Amino acid sequence: MDYHNAFMPTNKVLIDAVRGGTFDDFLLRPQYSVLERRDPTAIDLSCQFSEHITLKRPLVSANMDTVTRAPMAIVQAEEGGLGIIDRGFKAGDISPQVREVEKVKRTQHLIIRDPYAVAPSTPLSEAIEEMRRRRMGTLVVVDGNRRLKGLLTERDVRFVAQDQATVAERMTPIDKLVVGEGELSTDAAQQLMIERKVKKLPLVDRDGTLVGLITAKDIGRQERLPFATRDAHGRLRVGAAIGAKGDYLERAAELIRAGVDVIVIDIAHGHSVVMERAIAAFRSRFNDFELVAGNVGTPDGVGFLSERGVNGIKIGIGPGGGCTTRITTSFGVPQVEALVECRQAAEGPRHVPLIADGGIRRHGAIFEALIFGGDAVMLGSMFAGTEETPGDIVQKAVVLPDAQRTVKVPFKVLRGMASIQAIRDRLDVEDADTLDIEALGAEGTEVSVPARGSVRPIIQDILRHLCSSVSYSGANSLAEIKQMFRDDPFRYLIKLSASARRESYER
């Protein structure tokens, strides 16, 4: 099917209006506001990330090795979005990526299904080492048949001579524990824990076999983070990226085993024979496991992926901050044009959610990405340099022009996943010549960005601005403005002259 031509007539005028345009080429005409307050806790910003994953906030952190590992993915999910763990680990070395997924899935369980456990006969020194290594304050004690025998907490092992002691000698034995039977709801667990004044509640089935552990800390977190993105077991959700060649199926198998919620097949050009093969192989091995694929930037690309049954599609060829694809190949589509055209292609019989990926450098552009066609937005540069990004802080000398002196400023690195530096790390070719790697065709660059604090206030700022945009638009919610824009885009759309662009976005 020719998606480009099939969808052109329906919204040809809009497509013509946005052709060649990206975020800074437009302003949106303000409308009568119906909102009393611009409050992210009151305005519904929910969206579909993919067919079966809903987010209460439409933000996703990019699968880049200088942006999303477990610390970033945890904050994103706690704040109602999602983090996608990058695939920038060495080929064949799957476990580091799996560990990042495990860290997120273990952060916030209501019921911890497989709590770290030891046997009663384990030497105390080994149990203490296990607690230290796992950074866990509690170990569940079980026998060889996984029957609950007790709990060992940090307090039980404090100031104890470890030499000869075993876990059995220091643990709180089962007859002194409060234990829940079977699956308990949050309310029932909380009530029991308050009544019996305990902070840990192991759960067992009828034969006394351990089925899980509930902690007061996790219940508290659930209440403090009402927007968090969680799975059916109360665990934070997380995604992980894989490639389309090499170890990608093995990697997917391990990630799925670790509890990942969605796999993203992420390659520079997703409308390709390589992607076609990868999706077919993925589907035949993992059936209908939630799968997002990308990147594409055309209606034909969207049609191609949606016909192959993916559950979400990433849109963006070359707009990314760390990206040089357009410079090195002269291929790409301006992001607003891509989003408008791709949205129309995605409106077929199967509505496949689209993720607007890349090119967002100011908060207002997030709102544009969402009304022009994205269901969610993926951000890389906007989160760069924050505490939660991987990588060390380096101090760089910066000249202060006015004072004519230099000061040391902390920086972190942001690099495109197709930059020479990222390729070098993935391929394990530390000693290779830069020129050899350049022959692979780098399409990304590395930049230093000032180190800043946590990403959490940045997300909260973005959400407040998003609510202000909803307010200016005259809608009550994100879903409503998306529909209002679809019904009458020209009520909003103002194409800017060069001087209006300067007036609007140059400061």
Cite the active site residues. Answer: 323
Out of 358, 364, 373, 390, the only residue in the binding site for ligand XMP (CB under 6 A) is 358
Note the helical H segments in 3-44. 3-7, 12-18
3-state secondary structure (DSSP) of residue 125: helix
Query: Which residues pair with residue 240 across a beta bridge?
Result: 85, 263
Residues in 380-409 at the binding interface with ligand XMP, rule: CB under 6 A: 380-382
- Rounded to whole angstroms, how far apart are CA atoms 502 and 506? 5
- Rounded to whole angstroms, how far apart are CA atoms 278 and 498? 44
Out of 21, 416, 474, 489, the only residue in the binding site for ligand XMP (CB under 6 A) is 416
Residues in 115-144 at the binding interface with ligand XMP, rule: CB under 6 A: none
Residues in 252-291 at the binding interface with ligand XMP, rule: CB under 6 A: 268
The stretch near ligand XMP (CB under 6 A) out of 184-192, 237-245, 374-382, 485-493 is 374-382
CB burial of 291-329 (b: ≥16 within 10 Å; e: otherwise) equals bbbbbbbbbbbbbbbbebbbbbbbbbbbbbbbbbbbeee
Asked whether the beta carbons of 303 and 100 are under 8 A apart, the reply is no
* Nearest CB to ligand XMP, comparing residues 141 and 458: 458
- Edge to edge, what strands does the sheet with 446-450 contain? 394-400, 405-415, 446-450
339 sits near ligand XMP (criterion: CB under 6 A): no
Out of 71, 297, 321, 373, the only residue in the binding site for ligand XMP (CB under 6 A) is 321
DSSP letter for 349, please.
Answer: S
Out of 128, 305, 340, 360, the only residue in the binding site for ligand XMP (CB under 6 A) is 360
Phi-psi bin for 358: left (phi > 0), alpha (psi -120 to 50), beta?
left
* Nearest CB to ligand XMP, comparing residues 418 and 478: 418
Out of 14, 62, 151, 256, the only residue in the binding site for ligand XMP (CB under 6 A) is 62
For ligand XMP (CB under 6 A), the number of binding residues is: 26
In angstroms, what is the minimal distance from the CB of 378 to ligand XMP?
5
How big, in percent rounded to 5, are the helix, strand and coil portions of the chain?
40, 20, 40
Query: Which residues pair with residue 262 across a beta bridge?
Result: 239
The stretch near ligand XMP (CB under 6 A) out of 9-17, 72-80, 377-385, 476-484 is 377-385
The stretch near ligand XMP (CB under 6 A) out of 7-15, 353-361, 365-373, 483-491 is 353-361
- Rounded to whole angstroms, how far apart are CA atoms 81 and 459? 9
- Rounded to whole angstroms, how far apart are CA atoms 306 and 345? 9
359 sits near ligand XMP (criterion: CB under 6 A): yes
Out of 202, 322, 374, 385, the only residue in the binding site for ligand XMP (CB under 6 A) is 322
* Nearest CB to ligand XMP, comparing residues 53 and 417: 417
- Residue 72: exposure state from Cβ atoms within 10 A (0-12, 13-18, ≥19): buried
In angstroms, what is the minimal distance from the CB of 271 to ligand XMP?
14
320 sits near ligand XMP (criterion: CB under 6 A): yes
Out of 138, 344, 419, 469, the only residue in the binding site for ligand XMP (CB under 6 A) is 419
355 sits near ligand XMP (criterion: CB under 6 A): no
The stretch near ligand XMP (CB under 6 A) out of 144-152, 165-173, 351-359, 396-404 is 351-359
Contacts of 131 (CB under 8 A, 6+ apart): 137, 139, 154, 157
Cα three-residue angle 388-394-397, rounded to 5 degrees: 135
379 sits near ligand XMP (criterion: CB under 6 A): yes
40 sits near ligand XMP (criterion: CB under 6 A): no
The stretch near ligand XMP (CB under 6 A) out of 128-136, 173-181, 302-310, 415-423 is 415-423
The stretch near ligand XMP (CB under 6 A) out of 50-58, 243-251, 316-324, 489-497 is 316-324
In angstroms, what is the minimal distance from the CB of 433 to ligand XMP?
20
Asked whether the beta carbons of 160 and 124 are under 8 A apart, the reply is yes
Out of 58, 270, 316, 489, the only residue in the binding site for ligand XMP (CB under 6 A) is 316
In angstroms, what is the minimal distance from the CB of 166 to ligand XMP?
50
Asked whether the beta carbons of 383 and 61 are under 8 A apart, the reply is yes
295 sits near ligand XMP (criterion: CB under 6 A): yes
Contacts of 353 (CB under 8 A, 6+ apart): 47, 48, 49, 50, 51, 311, 312, 313, 346, 375, 376
- Rounded to whole angstroms, how far apart are CA atoms 325 and 375? 24
Out of 35, 43, 64, 264, the only residue in the binding site for ligand XMP (CB under 6 A) is 64
3-state secondary structure (DSSP) of residue 50: strand
Contact residues toward ligand XMP (CB under 6 A) are 62, 64, 268, 295, 316, 318, 320-323, 325, 357-360, 378-382, 416-419, 443-444
